[in-house]
Chain A
Amino acid sequence: MQTSVKHMARRGVSLALLAGLWPLSGSAHAMTAYITNEKGNSISVIDLDKLEVTRTVKTGQRPRGIALSKDDALMFVCLGDDDTIAVIDTKTLKEVGELPSGPDPEQLRVSPDGKLVFVANENDALLTAIDIATRKVVSEYPVGVEPEGVAVSPDGSIVVNTSETTSMAHLIDWRNKKAVANILVDPRPRYAEYNKDGSELWVTSEVGGTVSVIDPVKHIVKQKISFDVPGLAKEQIQPVGIRFSADGKLAFVATGPANRVAVIDAATKQVLKYLLVGQRVWQLELTPDGKYLLSTNGVSNDVSVIDVAALKVIKSIPVGSFPWGVAISKQ
């Protein structure tokens, strides 16, 4: 009895959510996805109502990491071969400035308060914070060899950086500019992501083929998730991007040349399902309503759209050459 009431209540909520969203779809305020095309030197703009590319915009050389400002007005795009981060107006899709990233930027994060961009500087083994308003470097911190993945705790107090050759997650208390922990994980850690409540930090190891689940208070790897896809050699499973579902119950991990998105129960850490997407899946992003998950598939030049409720791939959208990063705005 109790169960069914709860069940009904949940349905009620989701119906209300749907109803609330209904007027948005089909209107001029459709959500938009921005895809960086690493070899195409462009950004594909996807209308998420139509699920198709509506515009393709030229960028500088080798765009990869992409993030939006807190108000969605600007996007920041790492241009690896131009040694800079382009600032692009999301309305006009015109470049309006640059952030001084240093050489070969790849991944970046915007701080929860929307004021800073954190970027790893691979050549100098530094983590750099850039003030968005002044477009100036405000601080730097030395980390391991080939720093790459960047994450920020939900409260903004801890900045995490993964260093690929050092194979560590560096947890830095940014206010006091002090390393609080340097945690050894499996080889070539590529991406880091906090879960919704910040109680866990997940780090993917591309070469190790695992996800390390870190307790950010005790500073230990409390669990390791590994993957097993029948018919695929272990070496082909190379985890990269991570996202948690809006309710925090599921985690999605892009597995690179294994061409799949792994769906993981965030509580038990069990892999529930592998969703076949395009080839060489790099990064993932959820729509703000939590309904869709998009994956960038580098080798097959497309983006897969996953229906999160059904856990099904519902469409693949052709984009530019070698799609890598993805960001989604509410409009």
Chain B
Amino acid sequence: MFTSQAMLKRSSLVDFGYHGLKALCALSVVAFALCATLSRSAAADPLAVKVGVIREAHSRETISILDIPPADDFIAGARMAMDDNNTTGRFLDQSFSVVDAKLTPGEDAVAALKGMLDDGVRLFIVDLPPAEVLAVADAARASSALVFNAGAPDDRLREENCRANVIHVSPTRSMLTDGLAQYLIWKQWRGWLLVVGSHPEDQLLAEAYRRSAKKFGAKIVEERVYEDTGGGRRSDSGSVQVQRQMPVFTQNAPDYDVLVAADESEVFAGFLPYRTWDPRPVVGSAGLRPVSWDPSHEFWGAVQLQNRFQRAFKRGMNARDNQAWEAMRLIGDAVAHTKSADPKAIRDDLLSPGFALGAFKGQGLTVRSWNQQLRQPILLTDGRATVSVSPQEGFLHQTSELDTLGFDRPETKCKLQ
């Protein structure tokens, strides 16, 4: 539990945040009785829930300028959910605040964690590389803090390196590749030309595609590696070189249906669509992409969240923002249910059979008990609209069709401790 309730309350006033204050101001001009409600809440000593957000800035080297991470990447999603939680909290005498630690690559995440632990924070949402997620989780353990991994897609964090004090919100690589694979099978596009980047994360993503191909019966007709020879992604010289390089790179391939690009490092995939030697669709890291969220997603009432986000942050909500939003909403719902900010009570609630988070993906999101991964549909997007959502019809499962995505219980290597 927290050290000092009074201290937390004081800090929460400071950290309540621009949007929280704005929401309160907006509401205070509304005609009726809310002021009474508010003063009542204040008088009743609300439960203050402070959440630490630790994030490492993502590379600005993207193929499209549309994908350059904004300054408030990730944290904006947590703040949006903080506003949502505070609206609910108004009725339950609960208030939520976030503390933001934005790190440059290589900066010590554990140091940031310790500073927040000293301030009494026991709930953390992180967007960090896998090794840092583990280091933070292990450092948080002695204080019984709970960590929400809302960034790293690494399967190993949920398998051999799983930790009991980590809830995984972001989908794994295997969930993403299974989501795409199911759709390709449904389309009868079974022959894949797999093009893999030369970075370790690209290799892990390629491994996930190989596994998905085997799982659902696709055939990888050939694999090619695209070496990152360094240099910038964008230049003033325009499209001349790329237009010549990509057809040459993809020529002489065996007959295939789709080109599957495994390029987490954003080196080449974005250059492939419309430039392949053979006229074939590109999927994976460009073209049709499996994602947790896209600014263009509007099914199942999602447009409401998109509108709220756009109004508050003057930009579209990206996948990382959405994962941070989901993490903060998981905390909000669990606190609403348990009326407690205790990490253990929150974890127990998230893992209880009745829990489900509404997240505009067509069904409730629940947590896999065996490795604490959030079950979720995978959106397939071309960046303009949601093309399809997996699991696809016909991929059946004895407990939840969402468990056709990613490593399932019988094959897990996770032993929670």
Contact = CB atoms under 8 A, between A and B. Distances in A.
Interface in B357-373: 357-358, 363-364
A216 interface: no
A238 B27 contact: no
B333 interface: yes
A145 interface: yes
A209 interface: yes
Interface in B10-30: 26-27, 30
A207 to B, nearest CB: 4
Contacts of A122: 304
Instruction: Using C-beta atoms within 8 Å of the partner chain, give the interface range for chain B.
Output: 20 to 34
B88 interface: yes
A233 interface: yes
Interface in A171-214: 177-179, 182, 184, 186-188, 206-209
Interface stretch (A52-60, A160-168, A246-254, A310-318): A160-168
Interface stretch (B31-39, B170-178, B185-193, B382-390): B31-39
Nearest to A224: B354
A120 to B, nearest CB: 11
A140 B30 contact: yes
B336 A184 contact: yes
A139 B33 CA distance: 12
Nearest to A126: B30
Nearest to A178: B33
B interface majority secondary structure: helix
Contacts of A140: 30-32
Contacts of A206: 358
A142 B30 contact: yes
B4 to A, nearest CB: 28
B354 to A, nearest CB: 8
Contacts of A123: 304, 307-308
B363 A164 contact: no
A269 to B, nearest CB: 17
A125 interface: yes
A167 B401 contact: no
Contact of B301 (A164, A168, A186, A209): A164
Nearest to B31: A140
A209 B30 contact: no
A235 B357 contact: no
Interface of A: 104, 122-126, 139-142, 144-146, 164-168, 170, 177-179, 182, 184, 186-188, 206-209, 233-236, 238
